[in-house]
């Protein structure tokens, strides 16, 4: 199989897997909240993982709360920080876990709304004419978009929103570990981090919250995670996330000098196929290539690719089964006839030039065949 769905999840790094297996094979049961020796040892390993993650992000370990992943972190940020009547704004291309949390706030009466983007998925500069609206608001801006790979000028926007008196959260699920930036370099107040987009375990993430910003817990129960996130910690996964952070700090996991060049040639091959348009803008994260095939259905293309041994997806893996047009592409102004034929091909440093060339060849034949046939939907 040629795996081109790395924006959905990545394979687990064997080095991370070994650390997790060692934890799972420990003889004594160990709950980090227990006061006996085994519990204290578990607490020590958990805090070591927090320090490893904090070291990679260049933040204080006490500002990190471990969660079950990006969705929980995004919900905790949007529903746990803002006051009931505090304005909440999100970019129009956010992940569903941000959009649905925001809709809950808005339905409860909070003011705010979606911020427009341009045709490349970048925040529209016209937003800067609306400065007064953002005083006292919480603003959520996705760092790297999961569908088209657009990278926001996050530090610049965070500085501007701060000038207007707003707090800034970023969904960094597709950014942290893939890009070298640390949290201080981004200049945000809250940041969502997850592991499985960069060769770490699923089911674990973190929310970084700048000291002084208060969180109201979503989950009620025990005093874990400084009473911010109740529930016994997923220790093997957390230790895996810590190991991942340490590995990335030592040698960046996505660093590959030839990666951008390979993907650039792949983009050019895809753009040369009759009826195909590359939607990912220049300057997007290079391994994410979103394309549109006008008057074809994405589901049909994906099934045909699967039969050829190619794993790809359409839009967000969390919502691709909904058969609804991509809100990301709609916000970018992509016509509906192209949106319905849009697929996402997301590679990894291990993806070879030969694999990419084979996929381009498969797509050329599939698109030619589909465009010859009349639509029946």
Asked whether residue 355 is assigned to any structural domain, the reply reads yes
The dihedrals phi and psi of 292, each to the nearest 5 degrees, come to: -125, 135
**Residues 360 and 273: beta-carbon distance below 8 Å:** yes
Structural domain of residue 184, as residue ranges?
Answer: 14-23+50-250
| 217 and 300 part of one domain | no
Dihedrals phi, psi of 46, to nearest 5 degrees: -65, -45
User: Measured between alpha carbons, how far is 75 from 97 in angstroms, rounded to an integer?
Assistant: 7
pLDDT at 375: 57
The answer to whether residue 260 sits within a structural domain is yes
| Residue 296: CATH number of its domain | 3.90.1150.10
Per the domain annotation, does 131 fall within a domain? yes
Residues 206 and 107 in one domain: yes
Can you tell me the distance from the alpha carbon of 115 to that of 91, in angstroms, rounded to the nearest whole number? 5
Distance separating alpha carbons of residues 19 and 237, to the nearest angstrom: 10
Instruction: Indicate the DSSP class of residue 179.
Output: B
Q: Give residue 30's pLDDT.
A: 85
pLDDT score, position 323: 59
Active site residues: 318
Answer yes or no: are the C-beta atoms of 141 and 152 closer than 8 Å.
yes
Please give the structure tokens belonging to residue 268: 């050019």
Same domain? For 75 and 215 the reply is yes
**Residue 319 resides in a domain:** yes
Question: Of 230, 250, 270, which marks where a domain is finished?
Answer: 250
CATH at 152: 3.40.640.10
User: Which of 226, 250, 274 delimits the end of a domain?
Assistant: 250
Which tokens belong to 289?
Answer: 């290539």
Structure tokens at 101: 């949390």
User: Which of 195, 230, 250 is the C-terminal boundary of a domain?
Assistant: 250
How do strand 138-140 and strand 190-194 relate by DSSP bridges?
unpaired
CB atoms within 10 A of CB 28: 10
Number of domains in the chain: 2
For residue 256, give every residue at least 6 positions away whose Cβ sits within 8 Å of its Cβ, in sequence order, or none. Answer: 349
Closest CA to 270 of 316, 306, 301, 315: 301
Task: Look at residue 40 and tell me if it is in a domain.
Answer: no
Do 321 and 335 fall into the same domain?
yes
Q: Are residues 145 and 242 in the same domain?
A: yes
- This prediction's pTM: 0.94
Question: Are the C-beta atoms of residues 208 and 187 closer than 8 Å to each other?
Answer: no
Task: Indicate whether 78 and 152 sit together in one domain.
Answer: yes
Contacts of 286 by beta carbon, 8 Å cutoff, 6+ apart: 149, 259, 260, 263, 264
Any domain includes 91: yes
Residue by residue, DSSP assigns 32-59 as TT--SHHHHHHHHHHHHHHHHHHHHHTS
Residue 28 lies in a domain: no
For every one of its 377 residues, what pLDDT tens digit does the chain have, with 9 covering 90 and above?
999 999 999 999 999 999 999 999 987 778 999 999 999 999 999 999 999 999 999 999 999 999 999 999 999 999 998 677 899 999 999 999 999 999 999 999 999 999 999 999 999 999 999 999 999 999 999 999 999 999 999 999 999 999 999 999 999 999 999 999 999 999 999 999 999 999 999 999 999 999 999 889 999 999 999 999 999 999 999 999 999 999 999 999 998 878 889 999 999 999 999 999 999 999 999 999 999 999 899 999 999 999 999 999 986 444 445 557 899 999 999 999 999 999 999 999 999 999 999 999 999 999 999 988 765 55
């Amino acid at each position: 199989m040629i795996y081109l769905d790395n924006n959905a999840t990545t394979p687990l790094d064997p080095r991370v897997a070994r650390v997790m297996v060692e934890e799972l094979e420990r003889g004594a049961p160990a709950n980090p909240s227990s006061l006996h020796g085994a519990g204290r040892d578990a607490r020590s390993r958990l805090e070591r993982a927090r320090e490893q993650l904090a070291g990679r992000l260049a933040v204080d370990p006490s500002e990190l709360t471990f969660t079950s992943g990006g969705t929980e972190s995004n919900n905790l940020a949007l529903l746990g920080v803002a006051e009931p009547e505090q304005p909440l704004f999100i970019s129009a291309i956010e992940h569903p876990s941000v959009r649905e949390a925001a809709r809950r706030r808005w339905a409860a009466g909070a003011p705010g709304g979606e911020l427009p983007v341009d045709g490349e998925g970048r925040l529209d500069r016209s937003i800067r004419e609306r400065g007064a609206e953002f005083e006292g608001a919480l603003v959520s801006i996705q760092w790297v978009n999961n569908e088209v790979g657009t990278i926001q000028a996050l530090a610049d926007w965070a500085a501007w929103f701060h000038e207007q008196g707003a707090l800034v959260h970023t969904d960094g699920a597709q950014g942290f570990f893939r890009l070298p930036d640390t949290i201080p370099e981004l200049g945000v107040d809250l940041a969502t981090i997850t592991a499985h987009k960069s060769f770490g375990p699923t089911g674990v993430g973190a929310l970084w919250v700048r000291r002084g910003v208060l969180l109201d817990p979503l989950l009620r129960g025990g005093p874990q995670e400084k009473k911010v996130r109740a529930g016994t910690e997923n220790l093997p996964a957390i230790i895996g996330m810590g190991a991942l952070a340490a590995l990335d700090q030592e040698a960046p996991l996505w660093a590959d000098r030839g990666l951008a060049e390979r993907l650039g040639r792949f983009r050019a091959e895809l753009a040369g196929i009759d009826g195909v348009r590359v939607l990912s803008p220049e300057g997007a994260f290079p391994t994410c290539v979103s394309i549109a095939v006008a008057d074809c259905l994405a589901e049909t293309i994906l099934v045909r690719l699967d039969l050829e041994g190619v794993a790809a997806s359409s839009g967000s893996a969390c919502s691709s089964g909904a058969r609804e047009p991509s809100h990301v592409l709609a916000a970018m102004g992509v016509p509906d006839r192209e949106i319905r034929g849009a697929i996402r091909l997301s590679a990894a440093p291990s993806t070879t030039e030969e694999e990419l060339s084979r996929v381009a060849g498969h797509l050329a034949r599939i698109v030619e065949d589909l465009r010859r046939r009349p639509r029946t939907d």
